[in-house]
Amino acid sequence: RGFRWMKTMIHTIKEINERKDILPNSTLGYQIFDTCFSISKATESALVLLTGQEENRPNFLNSTGAYLAGIVGSGGSSLSVAVSRILGLYYLSQVGYASTCTVLSDKRQFPSYIRTIASDKFQSEAMVKLIQHFGWVWIGTIAADDDYGKYGVKIFKEKLESVNLCIAFSEILPKVYSKEKMQKVVDAVRTSTAKVIVLYTSDIDLSPFVLEMVYHNITDRTWIASEAWITSASIAKPEYFPYFGGSIGFAVPRSDIPGLKEFLYDIHPSRDPNDILTIEFWQTAFNCTWPNSSVPFCTGEEKLEDLKNTYLDVSQLRITNNVRQAVYAMAYAMDRLSRLWCPSILCRDKGARLMFFIQRVKFTTHDGRKIHVDRNGDVTGYYDLLNWQLDDNGDIAFVKVGEYIFTQSKFEFMIRKNSTIFWNTESSKIPHSVCTDLCPPGTRKGIRHGEPTCCFECIPCADGHVSRRAGQRECEQCGEDYWSNAEKSECVLKEVEFLAYDEALGFTLVILSIFGALVVLAVTVVYVIYRHTPLVNANGRELSFLIQVSLTITVLSSLLFIGKPYNWSCMACQVTLALGFSLCLACILGKTISLFLAYKISKSKTRLISIRPLYWKIIILISVLVEVGICTAYLVLEPPRVYKNMESQNIKIIFECNEGSVEFLCSMFGVDVFLALLCFLTTFVARQLPDNYYEGKCITFGMLVFFIVWISFVPAYLSTKGKFKVAVEIFAILASSYGLLGCLFAPKCFIILLRPKRNTDEIVGGRVPAIDKSVQLTSASVSSELNNTTVSAVVAD
């Protein structure tokens, strides 16, 4: 391949010399030195160019008097770096065609160097774009132990880490074969979980490593090739395809050079016995010696057409085309110099002035590509993305599957549509190269201390936090009305909780409330039908009806607690309950006061005390008015409101009533408690009053049930949450209402409906025949013989 590059330079120089539009009055010549891919040999060649064989001064003129305009080369980056450090001292122009090392762009170190091949900076960017495109995050790198490999991998690592991708391992291929060092590289490849590996090396340095891969039978790896070996015929051999097949990498653009193929064939060692390079090529190609040596001898009749040789392969003219462009860059710069500044070929300070034009050269190639050298001596353009595949003949083909365009205004990576990429994996699918698989939705990345960021733990998101996409670093907190689903992958609306009508508990409470109201209504019907009977008239018929109305209000007020709370329902439920109980307890207080007075009369032997209904009405009116006043102030000043309780249960929004002012609420129900205490105390004192149907005792038991229910309610209410808290309050309302209803009216209804003979004036009025000692006096009409004095307490209607 190197011999083809040399012949391309000669072909290009002859082409320029034949043109009349470039250097019409000058003829270009050349002198060729073989670097032997050695830094020491390249440095020696540079010194010979500068000083001559025996002289110690710059030799800008050769023996014929021709002026040394510049140098094309060297091939490898390390060679160009070594040579350019010397040539830069004299500001002697050097144009590279294959050296891509980024350090050569530093004009402080290499002021006279330009190149017609892109810097590795662009190649590294292209590799990172390729890796990102296929979703690889865990990459191994192997570099040659020279400037090309080390600087190339350095830039690649910087570009890779800037996009949060990771290096699994980074190894160096030894320049001089070392079994220990090579084994270290092989072990890194074999043991690493990285399935994608970048190889930044030349084909010459890569060859021993390829043999090691074959020897250790390491397959199932995808190699990202640098431009130095992606099209190398010495590596792209069918026997290596099981190990390196599917390699993918970037190459400089391919081109066809008119007339080059014929020029390459037009050589023979017999034409110039001093052309040692042609003789060496001939001996290598045909495996013979020229002219005299041990057998076999070269006959001179060998035919190049019979060879299958890299030299004659013009299907992949990539670096070869760069050689052509390097010669043209030098020629165009010299042409501009001779036309503008220095018509004389021997003008003073021509080297520095030539460098001025070379660093600003612009021209269009034979295939229409525009070449423009920037201030750093670099060119822009594009790369071909090549993939190693087997053709129909079993040979390795370099198939173009995409490209990377890099210009001053455009950077674009693209994969060709409908292009098929061969992957050297067991499944023949895109390789999977990660340290840790992406954390699924619902988890986040957790740091592994001491390891790259691509190696992490997958930690489940906390409650109320989600990660919607795979691989998120942080979980996102859900909004106020949202909560995480079971998988922690989506925020879903929180479940809204309240005691609804359509659920079993709510429906049961509704039935109990309606049933209680119907029972009260039935009692009222009985009282209306039997309103003129002594039992109904005894101790206040109007009070009984008011108690029935109030109990109806209390049992139906529980319906306001059921269903979704609204501001109006929150205000209505507690106020209705408080007013209903205050009316009920005020009426019971009227009854208990009558019993208490009857008891006092029986003790004081008073003949007759008449307790008029006006006093009971005043008691009831005052009690209810006080309760109404407190409720009104409560609703006006600090009314209850609907409250979304999110603290009790994170996964639910509990709709409940915020009771507003606790002081007003306590005052409101404090009135009821006070009335209940008065009722209990008065009936407890009068519990021993003779009573045919035990009304005093029934009220006492009713108030005991009332207190037991509400005392039990407090701890139960405080220990429950959500809708069950409301259910506990409704149970307390219904239980206390049913208790009062049963204790106050069940005995009377039993006598009215089932024992009508006892519902007479004699029994209710207190006059009982002497022979019937089992019948006692009523609390409505107390008649007892105490020292021959009759004491009666009559309730006047």
Q: Which range among 128-142, 162-176, 183-197, 264-278 shows the weakest confidence by mean pLDDT?
A: 264-278
Average pLDDT estimate for 361-370:
90
Instruction: Give Cβ neighbours of residue 755 (< 8 Å, ≥ 6 apart).
Output: none
Could you tell me the domains of the chain? 1-57+66-117+314-366 (3.40.50.2300), 120-255+383-415 (3.40.50.2300), 443-493 (no CATH), 504-760 (1.20.1070)
Cis before 291 (ω within 30): yes
Average pLDDT across the chain, whole number: 84
Residue 606 CA to residue 621 CA, distance in Å, equals 29
Residue 529 CA to residue 550 CA, distance in Å, equals 20
Cis before 296 (ω within 30): yes
| pLDDT higher than threshold 70 for residue 507 | yes
Residues 457-487: pLDDT tens digits?
999 999 889 999 988 889 999 988 888 998 9
The pLDDT confidence band at residue 700, using thresholds 50, 70 and 90, is: confident
Percent of the chain at pLDDT exceeding 70: 87
Q: Residue 767's pLDDT is what?
A: 41
Average pLDDT estimate for 380-398:
93
Residues 241-294: pLDDT tens digits?
999 999 999 999 999 999 999 999 999 888 888 888 888 888 888 888 887 545
Report residue 148 as tokens. Answer: 């090309």
Residues 84-104: pLDDT tens digits?
999 888 888 899 999 999 999
Residue 50 CA to residue 60 CA, distance in Å, equals 7
Q: Residue 541's pLDDT is what?
A: 78
| pLDDT higher than threshold 70 for residue 110 | yes
| pLDDT higher than threshold 60 for residue 607 | no
Q: What is the pTM of this model?
A: 0.67
Contact between 456 and 447 under an 8 Å Cβ cutoff? The reply is yes
Contact between 220 and 425 under an 8 Å Cβ cutoff? The reply is yes
Residues 622-635: pLDDT tens digits?
888 998 999 889 88
Report residue 720 as tokens. Answer: 């429950």
Contact between 202 and 144 under an 8 Å Cβ cutoff? The reply is yes
Q: Which range among 65-74, 452-461, 556-565, 628-637 shows the weakest confidence by mean pLDDT?
A: 65-74
| pLDDT higher than threshold 50 for residue 214 | yes
Residue 288 CA to residue 120 CA, distance in Å, equals 40
| pLDDT higher than threshold 60 for residue 605 | no
Long-range contact pairs involving 404-410 (C-beta distance under 8 Å, separation at least 24)? 404/122, 404/125, 404/126, 404/129, 404/130, 404/250, 405/381, 406/118, 406/122, 406/125, 406/126, 406/380, 406/381, 406/382, 407/380, 407/381, 408/374, 408/380
Q: Residue 498's pLDDT is what?
A: 85
Q: Residue 797's pLDDT is what?
A: 33
The pLDDT confidence band at residue 785, using thresholds 50, 70 and 90, is: very low
Contact between 144 and 175 under an 8 Å Cβ cutoff? The reply is yes
Residues 30-50: pLDDT tens digits?
988 888 888 888 888 888 877
The pLDDT confidence band at residue 346, using thresholds 50, 70 and 90, is: low
Task: Considering only residues 129 and 480, tell me which one the structure prediction assigns the higher pLDDT.
Answer: 129
Residues 302-341: pLDDT tens digits?
888 888 888 888 888 999 999 999 999 999 999 988 888 7
Q: Which range among 39-48, 50-59, 170-179 shows the weakest confidence by mean pLDDT?
A: 50-59
Q: Residue 782's pLDDT is what?
A: 35
Average pLDDT estimate for 434-445:
90
- When mean pLDDT is compared over 337-346, 714-723, 767-776, the highest value belongs to 714-723
Check the CA dihedral 485-490-496-501 and report its sign: negative
User: Rounded to the nearest 5°, which phi and psi values hold at 445?
Assistant: -75, 135
Q: Residue 375's pLDDT is what?
A: 87
Residue 401 CA to residue 16 CA, distance in Å, equals 35
| pLDDT higher than threshold 50 for residue 610 | no
Q: Residue 665's pLDDT is what?
A: 83
Report residue 247 as tokens. Answer: 């390699």
The pLDDT confidence band at residue 61, using thresholds 50, 70 and 90, is: low
Contact between 760 and 776 under an 8 Å Cβ cutoff? The reply is no
